[in-house]
Structure 1
Amino acid sequence: MKITKRFTLSALVVASVLVAGCQSTESTDAQPVSSAVNQIAPAKVSDNFIKGVDVSMIPELEKLGAKYYQDGKQMDPVAIMADHGVNYLRMRVWVNPQTLQGKAYGGGNSTLERAIEMGKRAHDHGMKYLLDIHYSDFWTDPGKQFKPKGWEKLNFDQLVSKVASYTDEVMKAHRDAGVMPDMVQVGNELNSGMLWPEGKSWGGDGHEFDRLAKLLKAGIGEVKAAYKKGESVKIMLHLAKAGDNGLFRWWFDEITKRHVDYDIIGMSYYPYWHGPMAKVKENIDDIAARYNKPVIIAETAYAYTSKNGDQLENSFTGETPFEGYPVTVQGQAQYLKDIMELVNSAPNHLGIGIFYWEPAWLPVPGATWATQEGMAYTDDHWKPGNSWDNQALFDFKGNVLPSMNVFKSE
């Protein structure tokens, strides 16, 4: 099943939108949340557990005027997150997220410069920094892995060389800026491979994983080469659908056969799309033991309200709560606490962390998942706007939600 979590509405969402219609931007949830839920307990996890967030939208949001508040005081959102126990920031990077005429594609316009900027802010606030290299000009996921502009006519050997040279450029730019990532993803949600069609993981001549492995090795090799003696970096390979054990066994068995060198297995887990939590636990426990690798939930989220902050329908409306978690701040916090503790419970301490996806994506005008140019590039024509605002860890006005308290140490 093709899942494009940021672009395509599921049948459930479409049905609920037809019933409910688009919500007003003046929702009651645009006010600070009552202190009655401030007693949310932190997750019980190990001291070195990764409590991460993907904040790739923040540079664009701040450019467009977004403001963030803690106890009524405007603050740097990274400082707010640090105050709440967040210890890792994740940033995606796209090769050239704009048209040849310089029109931005949207989705945070995730350039190398913005990734470096946020990496510095992470380190300045005592956090670590995960760089997520997509090897595309725009969103990548199991349903789309487009080559960057200018790479389309390269033959396979040239494409392998381009992955290496581009990765080298990305890492040298970080070195020159004085901010080396602590962890690097080579590719994003790689279920179906990368750099289609050459790097696709299925549907070809039987040598799909031979080609995919060469592309991955080219990127991984350049990442590792960028670090000096005494420095270290962890390499993550990341798939979506965390509840699908058959998928993870198939993909990582093939990668392991080809001796791809990586350190961490990453999973995306959006509970309303990717199955019950029990299946996620079974999968984490199995693959951690099977490959003897640490596991991270590299993306997850849950809604704190069923209301909508802008003109674009929410990706998850909350009309059907997941496994009894109410679509409230308390429900969001309980989900986040439970998924953290589930990962932490993996055998042999191999469940090492989670990253919450886009907790700061406020419904600010212009902070859209895609501009008209971005939609044309992916041939995915949908409304502009923010389908994620009800899953942030800040309310529509930028007040930090008590659910972020889950990240704090006990």
Structure 2
Amino acid sequence: MVMSDDLNKYLNIKIEPIKDLSNDFIMGMDVSMLKQIEENGGKYYDDNGVEKDVLEILKEHGINYIRLRLWNNPESLGGGNCNFQRVKDLAIRAKKIGMNVCLDFHYSDFWADPGKQNKPAVWKDLSFEELKNAVYDFTYNSLKKLAQVDALPAMVQVGNELNGGMLWPEGKTWGDNAGGFTQFAILLQAGLNAVDTVAKEEATEIKTVVHLADGGDNELYTWFFDELIKRQVTNFDVIGLSYYPYWHGTFEEFKFNINGISQRYDKEVAVMETGYAYTLKNGDSLENMVTQKEIDRVNKYAETNYSASIKSQAQILRKIIKIVNEVPDEKGIGVFYWEGEWIPVDGAGWKSGEGNAWDNQAMFDFNGKVLPSLDVFYKVYNN
């Protein structure tokens, strides 16, 4: 494997250490696509061009946590097909090399996010009471099966990017035919209770996360969590945020929000998803999600002129880590980079038969060679 000229230029990216960075700060990466990539022939290479297990490469570069999404019964059109078996296999691999695992329940057969929170097909005709019980049972049973193979996660997200609730329409918080916030809170509580029960039975600690997108939108976060607290949903540990600087507000808005909510609700906070483009080139036939337009949006309010480059990818990530680490009272606990391993491989697209719109935001080049920007995860401690 020959290193490209582009990579050679950035081998010695200067990353300043972050003062008083906690030794147990979560340096995380979502790698939910990994099994799909590997099954379709994707390979990864370390700094020396040697083929290696990507989890080993991540650990060598300072990653101490992986995040995995779980779908109930991925449909035939699939997108990563994040079924239980694949999640289990990756969790076992990560735990064996000393990494922690965050499990992200989508409670769907496909992607769940602010624009869609579709119930699994087998839950479609359940009554509300049955739906609540299904959330509890699926959460409980999944975790107990992982415990049986010594792969219990240390952190669990009950739902993914829950801006508008989950399990629509019963758990939708707004709009026509929505069940409303109270029904959503009941469903969320069922999932949280299941995690608490497993933690107690397994005599371990599992941090629970309630996760929203739009990490710079303080109005959204205060509305949402005020409504949860009103309904006595308090047994969660972490407020999780997605913060992509092209879409989710300025760095100052993000900092204001994450500092404010940590104090208002006396909760730990973590970035569960972030990312940044290292190139504008495209590795496959599907148009990239991030183009120059998104880069320009970041620069409109930024004090530094960023580009789509390996250097800027590292700088952006360092900035986000620093903001989280500086949350008052040590409540900022970590950052997860989203799908940093998602290189362009036929058969490992966002859904069956389609490509990968994320390949220019991975932390590996299109051939699977690790980028120097991944060094940020350890250089923030000691450059």
State how far apart, in whole Å, the 1-side matches of 2:312 and 2:91 are: 31
Between the aligned residues of both structures, percent identity stands at 47
Query: Following TM superposition, by how much is the alpha carbon of 1:186 offset from its aligned partner in structure 2, in angstroms?
Result: 0.4
Amino acid at match of 1:294: E
Amino acid at match of 2:214: K
State how far apart, in whole Å, the 2-side matches of 1:212 and 1:259 are: 13
Task: Report the CA distance shift for 1:229/1:370 in structure 2 as closer, same or farther (over 3 A).
Answer: closer
Give 1:12-161 correspondences, 5 Å limit: 33-34=7-8, 36-41=10-15, 43-44=17-18, 45-70=21-46, 71-98=48-75, 103=76, 105-161=77-133
State how far apart, in whole Å, the 1-side matches of 2:348 and 2:177 are: 41
Query: Which sections of structure 2, spanning at least 5 residues, go unmatched?
Result: 300-304
Query: Following TM superposition, by how much is the alpha carbon of 1:123 offset from its aligned partner in structure 2, in angstroms?
Result: 1.1
State how far apart, in whole Å, the 1-side matches of 2:190 and 2:172 are: 16
Give 1:199-238 correspondences, 5 Å limit: 199-203=171-175, 208-227=180-199, 228=201, 230-238=203-211
1:271 partner SS: coil
Name the residue aligned to 1:397: 367
Amino acid at match of 2:29: V
1:216 partner SS: helix
- Aligned counterpart in structure 2 of residue 368 of structure 1, from 320, 343, 349: 349
TM-score normalized by the length of structure 1: 0.86
Note the alpha carbon deviations across 1:2-29, whole angstroms, 9 max, x for none.
xxxxxxxxxxxxxxxxxxxxxxxxxx99
What is the number of residues matched between the two proteins?
A: 367
Query: Following TM superposition, by how much is the alpha carbon of 1:38 offset from its aligned partner in structure 2, in angstroms?
Result: 2.5
State how far apart, in whole Å, the 1-side matches of 2:14 and 2:222 are: 36
2:277 partner SS: coil
- Aligned counterpart in structure 1 of residue 335 of structure 2, from 354, 358, 378: 354
2:45 partner SS: strand
Q: Does residue 251 of structure 1 match 2:224?
A: yes
Name the residue aligned to 2:164: 192
Name the residue aligned to 1:20: none
TM-score normalized by the length of structure 2: 0.92
CA RMSD of aligned residues (A): 1.8
2:123 partner SS: coil
State how far apart, in whole Å, the 2-side matches of 1:283 and 1:207 are: 28
Amino acid at match of 2:35: P
Query: Following TM superposition, by how much is the alpha carbon of 1:41 offset from its aligned partner in structure 2, in angstroms?
Result: 2.3
2:292 partner SS: coil
State how far apart, in whole Å, the 1-side matches of 2:170 and 2:108 are: 14
2:51 partner SS: strand
State how far apart, in whole Å, the 1-side matches of 2:132 and 2:149 are: 26
Amino acid at match of 2:189: K
Query: Following TM superposition, by how much is the alpha carbon of 1:206 offset from its aligned partner in structure 2, in angstroms?
Result: 9.2
Amino acid at match of 2:105: I
Task: Report the CA distance shift for 1:31/1:91 in structure 2 as closer, same or farther (over 3 A).
Answer: farther
Query: Are the counterparts in 1 of residues 106 and 160 from structure 2 also a CA contact under 8 Å?
Result: yes
Amino acid at match of 2:377: F
Query: Are the counterparts in 2 of residues 130 and 181 from structure 1 also a CA contact under 8 Å?
Result: yes
Mean Cα deviation higher: 222-231 or 361-370:
222-231
2:185 partner SS: helix
1:68 partner SS: coil
Query: Following TM superposition, by how much is the alpha carbon of 1:107 offset from its aligned partner in structure 2, in angstroms?
Result: 2.1
Note the alpha carbon deviations across 1:265-299, whole angstroms, 9 max, x for none.
00001111111111000001110000010110100
Query: Following TM superposition, by how much is the alpha carbon of 1:230 offset from its aligned partner in structure 2, in angstroms?
Result: 3.5
Query: Following TM superposition, by how much is the alpha carbon of 1:207 offset from its aligned partner in structure 2, in angstroms?
Result: 6.7
Query: Following TM superposition, by how much is the alpha carbon of 1:167 offset from its aligned partner in structure 2, in angstroms?
Result: 1.3
- Aligned counterpart in structure 2 of residue 180 of structure 1, from 137, 152, 167: 152
Task: Report the CA distance shift for 1:206/1:393 in structure 2 as closer, same or farther (over 3 A).
Answer: closer
Amino acid at match of 2:15: A
1:72 partner SS: coil
Mean Cα deviation higher: 119-128 or 84-93:
119-128
Name the residue aligned to 1:8: none
Q: Does residue 168 of structure 1 match 2:144?
A: no
Query: Are the counterparts in 2 of residues 31 and 397 from structure 1 also a CA contact under 8 Å?
Result: no
Task: Report the CA distance shift for 1:80/1:206 in structure 2 as closer, same or farther (over 3 A).
Answer: closer
Amino acid at match of 1:64: N
State how far apart, in whole Å, the 2-side matches of 1:206 and 1:386 are: 33
Query: Are the counterparts in 2 of residues 164 and 219 from structure 1 also a CA contact under 8 Å?
Result: yes
Note the alpha carbon deviations across 1:203-233, whole angstroms, 9 max, x for none.
2589712111110111111111112364110
Query: Following TM superposition, by how much is the alpha carbon of 1:318 offset from its aligned partner in structure 2, in angstroms?
Result: 2.9
